[in-house]
Structure 1
Amino acid sequence: MNRRNFFAGIAGLSLPLIGRAQSYPNRPIRYIVPVAAGGGNDMIARVVTERWGRLLGQTFVVENQSGGGGVIAAQTTMRATPDGYTLMQGYVATHGTNPATRKVPYDPIKDFTPIGMIGATPNVLIVNSQVPVSNMKDFIDYARKNSGKLSYGTAGQGSLTHMTMELFKQETGLNLLHIPYRGIAPAFNDLLGNQTQTMFPGLAAAQQYIQSGKVRALAVTGPRRSSLLKEVPTMEELGFKGFDAMQWYGSVGPAGMSADIVERLNETQVATLKLPEMREKLAIEAVEPMPMTATQFGQFIKNETSRWTALAKARNIQLEE
């Protein structure tokens, strides 16, 4: 091959790659968050997309679409053109517990393209400080001696707080009365007032009450101890194998997105999560960064959907809309 043909061949190979890299994104990216503005889910979206946008060289426009437990946002996303300009912050409710416990007008796997995991916060088993236990063994013994007399609050039927406690009940055989509330705040009010005795909320919501001594933490979910509760053992350490129920967040797009665009989005999202300041920013919501490839995140969603669907069937949890 002569010199001219050699360099022409190199140019021919590199131009499509350069073209793809430069052509996307060439306008702002719509990022749908399936909750109202102001909460932890929304904060995570804004912190991540601000820095993610810098690496992509484009702005993310965060759009809050609350309603229907994430159904409205999910439908908007699945119906969007799969060109990489409409993404959504999927989380454990939209792509885990909701499809498992009720009929939703979307398939959490077939109707979406996984982009990447952002991170997760553990759930923490807590008891009111007046409950005379200091560890898991004591609590299980106490609950068995008072079978049917202890109650637990949740953020509502089918919520992660509900499903995690149902998983715990399935593992232990404990008889605890479920008191569903409309949100985690009223559930905490009654726990603090000893109207209920225990709960399995996310660490972000529970942390202030643990620190104040109003509730006692017995165990956390997840693969390792939380850096915010280093003295509290994991469920795994206590013998509950695979008990890693967590409040997680990730990014998805509509089904059918180009592999090149997914790869670019995933690589820049992973790079964003590895920025030194991101761990500190996400720690405000007790979220630990958990970067994954798009393929790994897709498998994670499948596992979550399967796990919660199996539990819902086993515990006869099927909600009517």
Structure 2
Amino acid sequence: MTQWTRRAIVTALGAMSIVRPHAAAAAAAGATTGAGTGTWPSEPIRIVVPFAPGGSTDAVARLAAPGLQQRLGVPIIVENRSGAAGSIGTDVAAKARPDGHTWLLTFDSHALMPVLVPSLPFDLQKDLVPVTQIGRAPYVLACQPAKPYRDMADVFAAARRGGVSFGSTGNGTIGHLVMLMMAQRSGVELTHLPYRSGGLAVNDAVAGHVDLMIGSAALLAPHVSAGTLRPLMQLGSHRLNAMPAVPTATESGFPGLTAEAWWGVFAPAGVPGPIIDRFQSALIDTYREPRIAQQFTEVNQAELVLGDAPALAEFVQNQIRVWGDVARANHVRPD
């Protein structure tokens, strides 16, 4: 697998003609916003999603865009900058001018970037500040209905004969890591096919180009409902209402194993506190709108969290501890 170095990422950023000031210069420029919100927002706000369109992170961002635009009075632009386990887009957000017009909305691999990309061109904890954890959803393992798998016993029996593949939303996502754990515990090998986005992975799973698909319930639930994917196992602590017949990992022979995708919002370091507070408030109010909340929780089978910044910071530290060990033990690197 390709190991992304600082030079590789900087080269990739240059190829996309992204020009951002150095973090120190950005902080100095951001000082002009003062301690209060002033005239903020004074221009369109962009939400950087460090993954390609079509995945759950992109969908979560676009779900909130109209409500944020209504509450803040400026256009909301969702900007997809994918690559290197999310580090290319995260770098764009981390080095943006800290004036409250650029935010990062990212996925669970965020906490694993220091392990996945050893030479990051930014400091995950110093260059970004937490805003809120939007929500979480259990991972689900599914396959095309024409595939011969009905449960995990079928999967592992086929894997012992060789040639079973699974798709994920990328190396180092929790979905990838939990599949590694289950394969090791079962003494089998599974061929991993990482994709740049959940949308691309699901398309290939529905078409039957990959045997299995591991993704968040938010990503897979619409396809399960439509009958284009058959769920085999869910990795929450209990069965989802929309999938009452689908066993949990514990029920499938992996006691205590859970894995949840999550989405969180971060700001470039140096954004004034009052601006962060106002954006956080607008974000939370948007996701609490009945229509938006229903879309997020029922249609996507996800749970809204909408916690405060300290809660997100503590949560990310726990994710680094729990899943970082798995990534290091398996020498996982982004493609």
TM-score grouping bracket, smaller chain normalisation: 0.7 to 0.9
Show the counterpart of 1:68. Answer: 83
Query: What amino acid is aligned across from residue 160 of structure 2 in structure 1?
Result: S
Give distance in 2, aligned partners of 1:244 and 1:123. Answer: 6
Q: With the length of structure 2 as denominator, give the TM-score of the two structures.
A: 0.72
Show the counterpart of 2:304. Answer: 289
Q: 1:262 aligns with which of 276, 279, 302?
A: 276
Superposition map of 1:177-256 within 5 A? 177-180=190-193, 182=195, 197-207=211-221, 209-211=223-225, 215-235=229-249, 240-241=255-256, 243-246=258-261, 248-256=262-270
Give distance in 2, aligned partners of 1:157 and 1:102. Answer: 13
Show the counterpart of 1:85. Answer: 101
Q: Is the 8 A contact 2:158 2:164 kept in 1?
A: no
Q: 3-state SS of the aligned residue for 2:274?
A: helix
Show the counterpart of 2:133. Answer: 117
Q: 3-state SS of the aligned residue for 1:231?
A: coil
Question: What CA RMSD, in Å, does the superposition of the two structures yield over aligned residues?
Answer: 3.5
| Shift in alpha-carbon separation, 1:233–1:281, aligned structure 2, 3 A | same
Give distance in 1, aligned partners of 2:223 and 2:148. Answer: 17
Give distance in 1, aligned partners of 2:237 and 2:176. Answer: 20
Query: What amino acid is aligned across from residue 60 of structure 2 in structure 1?
Result: I
Q: Deviations over 1:285-305 (max 9, x none)?
A: 554322111111112222223
Q: Is the 8 A contact 2:37 2:274 kept in 1?
A: no
Superposition map of 1:78-157 within 5 A? 78-93=94-109, 95-103=110-118, 104-127=120-143, 129=145, 134-136=150-152, 138-139=153-154, 143=156, 147=160, 149=162, 151-155=164-168
Q: Is the 8 A contact 1:97 1:158 kept in 2?
A: no
Give distance in 1, aligned partners of 2:237 and 2:230. Answer: 21
Q: 3-state SS of the aligned residue for 1:169?
A: helix
Show the counterpart of 1:168. Answer: 182
Q: Deviations over 1:207-250 (max 9, x none)?
A: 3553455653232123443343233243356653252231x222
Which of the two has higher C-alpha Rg? Answer: 1
Deviation at 1:158, TM superposition (A): 0.9
Give distance in 1, aligned partners of 2:206 and 2:70. Answer: 43
Q: With the length of structure 1 as denominator, give the TM-score of the two structures.
A: 0.75
Gapped regions of structure 1 (runs ≥ 5)? 1-18
Q: 3-state SS of the aligned residue for 1:257?
A: coil
Query: What amino acid is aligned across from residue 274 of structure 2 in structure 1?
Result: D
Deviation at 1:311, TM superposition (A): 0.7
Deviation at 1:111, TM superposition (A): 1.9
Gapped regions of structure 2 (runs ≥ 5)? 1-33
| Shift in alpha-carbon separation, 1:257–1:143, aligned structure 2, 3 A | same
Give distance in 1, aligned partners of 2:200 and 2:281. Answer: 40
Q: 3-state SS of the aligned residue for 1:147?
A: helix
Deviation at 1:24, TM superposition (A): 6.2
| Shift in alpha-carbon separation, 1:73–1:47, aligned structure 2, 3 A | same
Deviation at 1:187, TM superposition (A): 5.5
Give distance in 2, aligned partners of 1:74 and 1:22. Answer: 24
Query: What amino acid is aligned across from residue 318 of structure 2 in structure 1?
Result: N
Q: Which moved more, 1:292-301 or 1:176-185?
A: 176-185
| Shift in alpha-carbon separation, 1:177–1:37, aligned structure 2, 3 A | closer
Q: 3-state SS of the aligned residue for 2:64?
A: helix
Q: 1:31 aligns with which of 47, 51, 73?
A: 47
Q: Is the 8 A contact 1:119 1:289 kept in 2?
A: yes
Percent of aligned positions with the same letter in both sequences? 23
| Shift in alpha-carbon separation, 1:41–1:284, aligned structure 2, 3 A | farther
Give distance in 2, aligned partners of 1:39 and 1:195. Answer: 18
